[in-house]
Amino acid sequence: MIEELAVLQNPWWKDKDAIYEDEKVKSATSKDPKIIFEPLTENAVIIGPRQVGKTTYMKLAIMQLISRGVDPRNILYFSCDLLKDYREIVELITWFLRRRRGHAFVFLDEVTFLNDWERAIKFLLDSPLSPRMTLQVTGSTSAGLKRESFPGRNIRIVEFLPLSFSDVVDLLYPELREIPLPHPNPATSKDFYENAEELYPYFDELMRAFEVYLEVGGYPGSIKGKNLKDAVRESIFLDVLKLGRSERIALSIILGLLRRYGDRITLNSLAKELEIGSHVTIRDYLELFEELMIGRNYFQVRPENFTPLFRKERKFYFMDPLVVSSLSEMFGIAIPTSKIVEGIVGEHLSRAYPTYYLVARKEVDFVTKYFGVEVKWQSTVTPSDFPRVPIREKILLSKHDLAFHEPRNLAVIPLPLFLYQIRKSHISIRPT
């Protein structure tokens, strides 16, 4: 049975050109903007939310292997939704490798919901089969990886997240990649400001790209014009059920988060508001949303030593604008654009730095070890919009204003010009 399923899912075994007829490949390469992911070359566990393009990544990687002359029969793709447990993973790969000569490439899709899937990966990496193959697997939850991270084994764990704003700019305006910035790795407010000066002639292009990103987010299918809101929403609750959690409780907590989107919350206050018996349940579901890679918790930090204050109030933002719009439309709740923009900034910072927020006399939206960021999605700002707190490097994000205030070491930067500088991707795209 497994062998028959393998033959069905690998039509390039019969005709190497069949990969070019694959729907994922055709969608990625035939309609602008074309999205080509740079394939990894090592063993990898690739974790990211559903609908984000992990299957497309695998199919494009197969296409590139075949185009480089790799024997198509040495490439196995298998959707693990069709398997029962880790034993069938081992059975599948053992069967495949026994009938092939030379180095093989194995792509296992959506493996992380199979019971004990980590055991299969560990067995394969430790077995004599390991040198004969490059193994890449995808999944939609990081829950298992907290229990087992394959210590000492030849495999890399990679996040596959929705495209960042800079990725979207690269797709829409690839010529902007050629702009030489004075600080390729900015670390201070002055660095970001001087880079923004170089980018300012392209303000209109970057603002148009941000308006697109704000509307459709970083899901490749959505960028290409597909309406993914229903699919994204349904996949969230499907995965909640697969992990043995309550869809009703998940719905209730998401509703509570949307009502107070981006505000400071405590676990107790949210439990009381939603009439959920324990704050522990709230905590568990907020952690679940992080494991499903649809949102992040942001904790307060002690400024003098940058120690997180996990027992204090926290903030929660969903990871991508598409997730926000999908869930808010479900409940008929209008989220202020300024709050969605705050979440976008927090997500981009979190991909590059450990990111928290600060409460002193006033709140600073986000802080890293290197700088603090205050988000003001409004037409005009003044230096006083950044609270007077003990942070040396200060960045105030605006809609339009660009300035540097020496007395406070404060950079005022249009938000798209700042976000474009946060270029932290784990899976790279290659504009065509």
Q: What is the 3-state secondary structure (H, E, C) of 120-173?
A: HHHHHHHCCCHHHEEEEEEECCCCHHHCCCCCCCCCEEEECCCCCHHHHHHHHC
Give, rounded to a whole angstrom, the gap between the first and last alpha carbons of the chain: 40
**What integer pLDDT is reported at residue 428 of this predicted model?**
56
Q: Is 106 helix (H, G, I), strand (E, B) or coil?
A: strand
Q: Which pLDDT score, from 0 to 100, does residue 430 have? A: 53
The CA-based diameter of the chain, rounded to the nearest angstrom, is 72
Using a 10 angstrom Cβ sphere, with 0-12 exposed, 13-18 middle and 19 or more buried, the burial of residue 193 is: buried
List the pLDDT tens digit at each of the 432 positions of the chain.
788 998 999 999 999 999 999 999 998 888 778 888 888 889 999 999 999 999 999 999 999 999 999 999 999 999 998 888 889 999 999 999 988 889 999 999 999 888 888 889 999 999 998 999 999 999 988 765 644 567 778 898 889 999 999 999 999 999 998 999 999 999 999 999 999 999 999 999 999 999 999 999 999 999 988 999 999 999 999 999 988 999 999 999 999 999 999 999 999 999 999 999 899 999 999 999 999 999 999 999 998 888 999 999 999 999 999 999 999 999 999 999 999 999 999 999 999 999 999 998 899 999 999 999 999 999 899 999 999 998 999 999 999 999 999 999 999 999 999 999 998 655 555 544
pLDDT at 344: 98
Q: How far is CA 412 from the centre of its chain?
A: 27
